[in-house]
Amino acid sequence: MDLPVKSQRLAALDDAFHAMFEKSRTETPPSLEVRLERLARLRAVISDNEARFEQAISADFGHRSATETLIAEVLFLLSEIKHAAKHLKKWMAPQRVATAMQFLPAKNRLIPQALGVVGIIAPWNYPLQLTLAPAVGAIAAGNRVMIKPSELTPRFAALLKELIAAKFAADELIVTGVEEEIARAFAALPFDHLVFTGSTRVGRLVAEAAGRNLTPVTLELGGKSPAIVHRSASLDEAAERIAYGKLLNAGQTCIAPDYAFVPEESVQAFAEKVRTDMRRMFGTEPANKDYTSIISDRHYARLEGLVADAAARGARILQPAKPDDPNWKARRKFPPTLVVGATPDMAIMQEEIFGPALPVLAYRDAKEPIDYINRHDRPLALYWFGRDSAARDEVLARTISGGVTVNDCLFHFTQINQPMGGVGASGSGVYHGEWGFRTFSKLKPVFYRSALNRLADLYPPYGAKIARLEKLMRFMS
């Protein structure tokens, strides 16, 4: 009897997982050479197909800036792979760990070991980077990897699947389908580790599904990342850098500055400067090739709704065109928008915007932004602008976020030696560079007993030997 298509897809997913799982339990973990060769193949998948990836992603978005695909996806990944390949030998080496004196002359080592099978669930906003950057860490750590791309980037997903299948055995690295039933079944597979990048809402569902298998999860989620402009800041610098951080990928960036807190006396001047910078960088025409489209009609309508609600509640809206202008809407290009005089009751302040609209909130006292941030979910990123180091350090000490860039936006994310990850509602766990290698490894502590030590003194019958040991341990502690 033929199974319905849906059941066939689920059965194929199950088979693919079990084939990988079986290999991970029966074969010796891959050597340094095998891992390096897999990374080289992954690099070839990317660099031999840059133009095809750029076109597929652009077709999925409606339009995606080719330069942004190059910088934020292709070059980012190539440098992740290069860094991993360069340092892998050192990362894989057992690490010495000190041994307490009473156990000497024994030794301790921490041995990094492949976990087995790693699952990756990715969003649509940087589809190439967010499918493959976790895969780089997982492969470097010696794992087999399954990737589930987003259903909102189907052309990209089909291309990635085809290219990976041509270069990798199905039990090394595989890309699954994107359908909804696959997403749910994928999260329920008993992976050795699962990486989920996406919304906080779906992150909860994924964590629940993984929890049933006791599968550890890295949750790379979103949220509202604030930018604070301190009175000591250069308004020109802050405006330009926030304008760029907001409009990269048309605001569809997890670490984009979501909203800006600005001293009340500078709100108008700041908003005008941001508007001028946005025009200078991305023009005022929807055909501008550097300006990316919104991923779907649903997201476009959601952004229209957020801005309309803010206007109805008294915010001043600055835009080069109305979002319902057919020239913009037909291309799903949402006009860069400033929401001046935004207040916390507005819908735009209650959900992650994930689009090119910047609410500007006024503050009087420098403590107000800190209090506001601390009364809301922990942000994925925080941006602080200013020259007053005491004020900066107070914000750093009193707020918690996934990461911080001081006097710019986004760039903490691009530091390959720094961990990437959220906190609380913006996620848990980290990856990138060596942090990814560690996340996808079991760091196994091994104690090597020496023939010479006194550990046998612990065995019964207890008596005078224990008293000697006790004396030594009390002396040591």
Q: Which residues are catalytic?
A: 220, 254
Distance CA 175, CA 241 (A): 36
> Which CB, 315 or 353, lies closer to ligand NAD?
353
Distance of closest approach, residue 222 Cβ to ligand NAD, in angstroms: 2
> Which CB, 179 or 394, lies closer to ligand NAD?
179
E strand residue ranges, 206-277: 217-220, 226-229, 259-263
Specify the 3-state DSSP secondary structure of 295: coil
Q: How many CB atoms lie within 10 A of CB 222?
A: 28
Q: Note the maximum CA span of the chain.
A: 91
Question: In this structure, which amino acid lies at residue 250?
Answer: A
- Torsion region of 62: left, alpha or beta (phi above 0 gives left; psi -120 to 50 gives alpha): left
Query: Cα 121 to the chain's mean position, in Å?
Result: 11
Distance of closest approach, residue 279 Cβ to ligand NAD, in angstroms: 26
Distance of closest approach, residue 453 Cβ to ligand NAD, in angstroms: 47
> Which CB, 192 or 258, lies closer to ligand NAD?
258
Binding site residues, ligand NAD, CB under 6 A: 121-125, 130, 148, 150-151, 183-184, 187, 197-199, 202, 205-206, 220-222, 254, 352, 354, 380, 422, 427
Distance of closest approach, residue 101 Cβ to ligand NAD, in angstroms: 44
Both tokens assigned to 333: 């290009």
Distance of closest approach, residue 158 Cβ to ligand NAD, in angstroms: 14
Beta carbons of 177 and 9 less than 8 angstroms apart: yes
Distance CA 355, CA 323 (A): 12
Distance of closest approach, residue 146 Cβ to ligand NAD, in angstroms: 13
Q: Omega of the bond prior to 263 within 30 degrees of 0, cis?
A: no
Secondary structure (DSSP) of 10-55: HHHHHHHHHHHHHHHHHSPPPPHHHHHHHHHHHHHHHHTTHHHHHH
Distance CA 277, CA 273 (A): 6
Distance of closest approach, residue 292 Cβ to ligand NAD, in angstroms: 14
> Which CB, 94 or 154, lies closer to ligand NAD?
154
Distance of closest approach, residue 221 Cβ to ligand NAD, in angstroms: 5
> Which CB, 121 or 360, lies closer to ligand NAD?
121
Distance CA 11, CA 14 (A): 5
Q: Which residue is nearest to ligand NAD (CB)?
A: 222
> Which CB, 58 or 401, lies closer to ligand NAD?
401
Q: How many CB atoms lie within 10 A of CB 184?
A: 13
Specify the 3-state DSSP secondary structure of 384: strand
> Which CB, 157 or 233, lies closer to ligand NAD?
157
Distance CA 326, CA 324 (A): 6
> Which CB, 189 or 262, lies closer to ligand NAD?
189
Closest-CA residue to 65 (of 364, 312, 283, 361)? 283
> What single-letter DSSP state applies at residue 74?
I
CA separation (Å) from 382 to 31, 393, 394? 40, 13, 13
Question: In this structure, which amino acid lies at residue 69?
Answer: T
Residue 155, class by beta-carbon neighbours within 10 Å (0-12 exposed, 13-18 middle, 19+ buried)?
Answer: middle
